[in-house]
Structure 1
């Protein structure tokens, strides 16, 4: 095999490797994007769960506040409506 043919043959092998690696990089990038989307979805679900828990806690605090407000109003009314001695 002459020098030219050997160089062309080596270049073809290199080209095949190059195309293979490019295809693998694209495939891995697609997998990476999928994993990032999945990770974001997991994070989103976690945040949504946190939000629901905080909304529940807020509702409980609002109920406590309403009860306290009623107690304050009742106490004020009792104090001011009860004749002083």
Structure 2
């Protein structure tokens, strides 16, 4: 497998993680909204912490994805020049 194809594959794996985590955050935010409406403070605090942690993970994954995108663009440009 060429280096370019490997970079693309790695980036697709990262995108899957990113999309999964975004969906989980949305799910937890719905739960947070429901708990707020039900005024269940202890459960609300727990889900709020979980959302905060997932948002931090999401930032890290987005950073990795951006770095991979830059690397893919560089590799593509280098291969294009060689051709």
User: What TM-score results when the alignment is normalised by the length of structure 1?
Assistant: 0.50
User: What TM-score results when the alignment is normalised by the length of structure 2?
Assistant: 0.51
Is there any run of 5+ residues in structure 2 with no aligned partner, and where? 1-37
Alignment of 1:6-85 (within 5 A): 40-82=40-82, 84=83
Higher RCO, Cα 8 Å, sep 6+: 2
Is there any run of 5+ residues in structure 1 with no aligned partner, and where? 1-35
2:41 match: secondary structure: helix
- Calculate the aligned-residue CA RMSD, in Å: 1.7
How far residue 81 of structure 1 moved from its aligned partner, in angstroms, is 1.4
Cα distance in 1 for partners of 2:81, 2:41 equals 59
Per-residue Cα deviation, 1:11-47 (whole angstroms, up to 9, x for no partner):
xxxxxxxxxxxxxxxxxxxxxxxxx95xx10100000
The number of equivalent residue pairs is 46
